[in-house]
Chains A and B, each alone.
Chain A
Amino acid sequence: MDIVFIFEWLDASWLAELSKSSAGVFAMVQTVHIASMVMLGGMVMLGDLRMMNVLLPNVPSATIINGTRKWIWLALLFIILSGLYEASAIAMKLAHNSFFFAKMAGLGMGMAFILTIRSAVYSRAPAVVEGEGVNNNIQLDEVVQPWVVKLVAVTSLLIWFSVASAGRWIGFS
């Protein structure tokens, strides 16, 4: 399916007019994009490394995962808004940029992964991961194996690393 018309529409929009009009504002929006990326990366890494028992193993994992949740979504909100602004300035370039499409695919995959698999598996973490004596109300037969939790954590890290790498590479292509 040809989706170039979306980029053409974006390129002709008032947002593109605005983003192309001031390099200073564009640089500030880029700063917001990077700062949000830092927030997303920090919170995702904290959660995933906790589930791998690498960071803060003595703190119940639910405390960490619940604590990171709102920051992850806040960061994603800012990433998407600032990213849209940035994309509008170079819409026609992005229409034919493989790294941009890789980044969008990774972003979609990452968000879907957080909402489904990551969330489902982390909430069923065994006591060896979750922390002794704090395993919540889940049934024993719902508890997943520790290696599954670690696999999900590694997958999550890989997805977000790929998104950030693809994003960086847009600038070089």
Chain B
Amino acid sequence: MLNELLFKFASWLDTFQSSTDLHESLYMYAWVESTHVLTLMLFLGMLLVIDLRLLGVAFTDVAASKIVERLDKPMMIGFVVMVISGMLLFYAIPVRSTQSIWFRIKVVLLIGAGINAFLIRNMTRSTDMAWDNDPKPPKRIRVGAGLSLALWTGVIAVGRSMAYDWWDCHKEMPYFMYWAAGCVNEMAAYE
């Protein structure tokens, strides 16, 4: 049901001439993709600094709250640019992206990373920051920071894997993989 809905939505996006134009443009798609990848350095670079501080392995002589608060703005600027460029990349290739197992895992990881970031943000903005100047933050903070790094590394890995066609719908795959990737037509042919 959800697979059909997503496929219909992607197919509808695909009917726009601007989607095709962006995909087939000589330079524009490359610029958008480059912006997406290069903004990683700003967004994830700042997040990495924050997470390393919260893990207690870098900048331990600087208050954790100072690092978190001051790097928040550049990090969010990077995030916004990354989201916009990411949406444009999806818009350029909507059907293949929707039916990519890697894209689907990426979305799940992004949701996980978002929830984790929300929880860390709450824990580092609470008034109870007695550990602020401690080189090693409490275990729950370190676990959250470690999870954040793991989730974002996963996002990079599956984002990179989207370029490969190992599990594309046109390949011979078990039914479960067709379902997981949302290969609606292939599933229908299977049944």
Asked if B153 and A31 make an inter-chain contact with CB atoms under 8 angstroms apart, the answer reads yes
| Bound CA span A46–B156, Å | 21
Contact B160 A63 (CB under 8 A): no
* A64 surroundings in chain B (CB, below 8 A): 59, 62
Residue contact B37 to A169, C-beta cutoff 8 Å:
no
List the B side residues contacting A63 at CB < 8 Å: 59, 61-62
Known contacts A28-B157, A169-B34; decide if A45 and B66 are in contact (CB<8 Å). no
> What's the least CB distance linking A14 to chain B, in Å?
24
**B135 within 8 Å of A (CB atoms):** no
A43 within 8 A of B: yes
Task: Give the distance in Å from the alpha carbon of A59 to the alpha carbon of B69 in the complex.
Answer: 13
A31 touches B44 (CB 8 A): no
How many chain A residues touch B (Cβ–Cβ < 8 Å)? Answer: 32
CB contact between A35 and one of B30, B38, B156, B166 (< 8 Å): that residue: B156
Residues of A within 8 A of B59 (CB): 63-64, 67
- Chain A residues closer than 8 Å to B44, beta-carbon distance: 38, 42
What are the residues of chain B within 8 A of A164 when measuring CB–CB?
Answer: 37-38, 41
B55 in the interface (beta carbon within 8 A): no
Give the interface centre of A23, A40, A67, A169 by most chain B CB atoms within 10 Å: A67
Residue of A nearest to B58 (CB): A67
**Residue count of chain B within 8 Å CB distance of chain A:** 31
Q: Is A168 an interface residue (CB 8 A)?
A: yes
Given A27-B157, A28-B157, A59 contacting B30 (CB threshold 8 A): no
A contact residues around B67 at 8 Å (CB):
56
Which B residues lie at the A interface, using CB under 8 A? 30, 33-34, 37-38, 40-42, 44-49, 52, 58-59, 61-62, 66-67, 70-71, 74, 153, 156-157, 160-161, 164, 166
> A residues within 8 Å of B by Cβ?
23-24, 27-28, 30-31, 34-35, 37-43, 45-46, 49, 55-56, 58-59, 63-64, 67, 71, 161, 164-165, 168-169, 172
17 A–B contacts, CB within 8 A, in A order: A27-B157, A35-B156, A37-B41, A38-B156, A40-B41, A41-B42, A42-B46, A42-B48, A45-B45, A46-B45, A55-B71, A55-B74, A63-B59, A63-B62, A64-B62, A71-B58, A161-B38
